Amino acid sequence: MLLDDKIVKIREDFSYLDEQKLGRKIIYLDNAATSQKPNCVIDAVSDYYKYQNANPHRGAHYLTVKATEAYENARSSIAKFINAKSSDEIIFTRNTTESLNLIAYSYALENLKKDDEILITILEHHSNFTTWHYVAEKTGAKLKIVYLDDNFSVDMTDFENKLTSKTKLVSVTGASNVTSCMPDIEKIVELSHKNGAIVVVDGAQLAPHKKVDMQKINCDFFAISGHKMLSPMGIGILYGKKDILDNMKPFMYGGEMIEYVYEDYSTFTLSPTRFEAGTMNVGGAIGLAKAIEYMEAIGMDNIYERERQLSEYAVSQLNKIPYIDIYYPQNAKNVGSAIAFNVKEIHPHDVASILDNFNIAVRSGHHCAMPLHKYLKINASCRASISFYNTKQEIDEFLTHLEDVRRTLGYGLE
């Protein structure tokens, strides 16, 4: 399996695997909720606060110059990572949710009007649902939903049928946090642009796992949460095309996003600082840049292939278990590493609690995707989400203890 010769060394980089310090063994299969952090990322954040702690772009003394340099170098690293044309297209936010809200408030509320249409898919995270509910309510635009084919993937025929001259904004996940479907974003962007619509991509579950290229995808906005890709919580990015960003109103108002402030009015800077009001999460930005450096050293293609191999193995074994229902695209060309499933007759929370007794961490619930679960005719599911630092042995232990779940509750006993 890819990276097997390096995985022992890679796993040494993650302190959560130190059983002696943690007090227990952990098989962490909740990576879609948040990833674990390598020590180099933790050290980079710590070193910033120890040796460079100052407020960027606010002063001329040594520490603030160093902090500004580190902050802007982080922006440049992220721009390079996603192949943005310029670091001016990278806005630091708290997370994907804030990034989507920024688009909603600064772009959509200013540009959409009554009877315009917003097109999303049933796969979307609540952040990519409720945001557009609000925009539709405030503007009079209509929200339309694209549904799935029989393989838990976006039905492109349904998408094309619902894409009309009234469609002004399309917002779609890059990878589902439930079914792991990776929609054909490039095709969606191409069709949407031909139709005159802008395209927003929720990249929270895509960017940590697969190489993304803004010039190839050609979307107008792309949102990322750092904590899902090895960096600290509280840092995210919004990529936006420069010509669009510079014509958007600010999302929040305050220090550093201003050009001039007079007694009766203010003027504002251009992107990215226009959208970065107040003191930002400098340590988080530095941590995200370090996480990207770490991932690039391993290789994004290597990360994707390893996770795909582990996921394919897990799915192939789950498919053999008669009491498991699985919600995952079969034999798909592009697919993520989050595997949603249910154990027949057992509530997902019970499954997750019993697995936790065996030191296995999985998610249970609706995964911030209630509409999708309702569409699938289930109330909740379990989710095992795999990262490159997981192992086949961990997958085998997870599969073995799924049988213990049923035994614990008295199923399958003579």
Q: Are 326 and 281 in the same domain? A: no
Residues in contact with 265: Cβ distance below 8 Å, sequence separation at least 6, in sequence order: none
Mean pLDDT estimate for the chain: 96
Q: Are 201 and 327 in the same domain? A: no
Do the beta carbons of residue 291 and residue 229 sit within 8 Å?
yes
- Residue that terminates a domain, selected from 267, 296, 325: 296
CATH number assigned to the domain comprising residue 80: 3.40.640.10
Q: Can you give the pLDDT at residue 288?
A: 99
In a domain, 408, yes or no: no
In a domain, 86, yes or no: yes
Q: Are 250 and 337 in the same domain? A: no
Q: Distance between CA atoms of 154 and 156, rounded to whole angstroms?
A: 6
Q: Are 325 and 399 in the same domain? A: yes
In a domain, 414, yes or no: no
Q: Distance between CA atoms of 165 and 291, rounded to whole angstroms?
A: 41
pLDDT band at 221 (very low <50, low <70, confident <90, very high): very high
**Strand positions, DSSP E, 221-378:** 221-225, 236-240, 258-261, 266-268, 324-326, 338-343, 360-361, 363-365
Q: Distance between CA atoms of 217 and 353, rounded to whole angstroms?
A: 40
Q: Are 291 and 305 in the same domain? A: no
Q: How far from the centroid of its chain's Cα atoms is residue 390's Cα? A: 19
Q: Are 283 and 394 in the same domain? A: no
Q: Residue 413: is its pLDDT beyond 80? A: no
Residue 158 burial (CB count, 10 A): 17
Residues in contact with 15: Cβ distance below 8 Å, sequence separation at least 6, in sequence order: 21, 39, 42
Q: Can you give the pLDDT at residue 414?
A: 37
Token pair of 161 as six digits: 């049928």
Q: Are 148 and 284 in the same domain? A: yes
In a domain, 38, yes or no: no
Q: Can you give the pLDDT at residue 357?
A: 95
Q: Residue 282: is its pLDDT beyond 60? A: yes
Q: Can you give the pLDDT at residue 3?
A: 78
Q: Residue 374: is its pLDDT beyond 80? A: yes
Q: What is the pLDDT of residues 71-104, one digit of tens each?
A: 999 999 999 999 999 999 999 999 999 999 999 9
Give the residue-averaged pLDDT of 308-329: 97
With a pLDDT cut of 90, the percent of the chain lying above it is 93
- How many domains is the chain partitioned into structurally? 2
Q: Residue 126: is its pLDDT beyond 80? A: yes
Q: Are 387 and 355 in the same domain? A: yes
Q: Are 181 and 303 in the same domain? A: no
Q: What is the pLDDT of residues 147-187, one digit of tens each?
A: 999 999 999 999 999 999 999 999 999 999 999 999 999 99
Q: Can you give the pLDDT at residue 283?
A: 98
Q: Can you give the pLDDT at residue 411?
A: 78
- Residue that terminates a domain, selected from 296, 320, 347: 296
Q: Distance between CA atoms of 409 and 414, rounded to whole angstroms?
A: 13
Q: Distance between CA atoms of 228 and 95, rounded to whole angstroms?
A: 10
Q: Are 226 and 200 in the same domain? A: yes
In a domain, 24, yes or no: yes
Q: Are 287 and 339 in the same domain? A: no
Do the beta carbons of residue 229 and residue 207 sit within 8 Å?
yes
CATH number assigned to the domain comprising residue 360: 3.90.1150.10
Q: Are 234 and 315 in the same domain? A: no
Give the residue-averaged pLDDT of 354-376: 98
Give the residue-averaged pLDDT of 275-304: 98
Q: Residue 244: is its pLDDT beyond 80? A: yes
Residue 232 burial (CB count, 10 A): 21
Is 40 known to be catalytic? no
pLDDT band at 4 (very low <50, low <70, confident <90, very high): confident
Give the residue-averaged pLDDT of 106-130: 98
Taking the C-alpha atoms of 107, 113, 114 and 117 in order, what is their torsion angle to the nearest 10 degrees?
Answer: -60
Q: Can you give the pLDDT at residue 412?
A: 62
Q: Distance between CA atoms of 376 and 152, rounded to whole angstroms?
A: 9
Do the beta carbons of residue 171 and residue 144 sit within 8 Å?
no
- Residue that terminates a domain, selected from 249, 276, 296: 296
What's the predicted TM-score (pTM) here? 0.96
In a domain, 37, yes or no: no
In a domain, 413, yes or no: no
In a domain, 199, yes or no: yes
Q: Can you give the pLDDT at residue 1?
A: 72
Give the residue-averaged pLDDT of 293-315: 98
Q: Which amino acid makes up residue 179? A: T
Domain that holds residue 314: 4-30+299-403
Instruction: Please tell me which residue in 40, 181, 219, 368 is annotated as part of the active site.
Output: 368
Do the beta carbons of residue 144 and residue 162 sit within 8 Å?
yes
Token pair of 7 as six digits: 């995985």
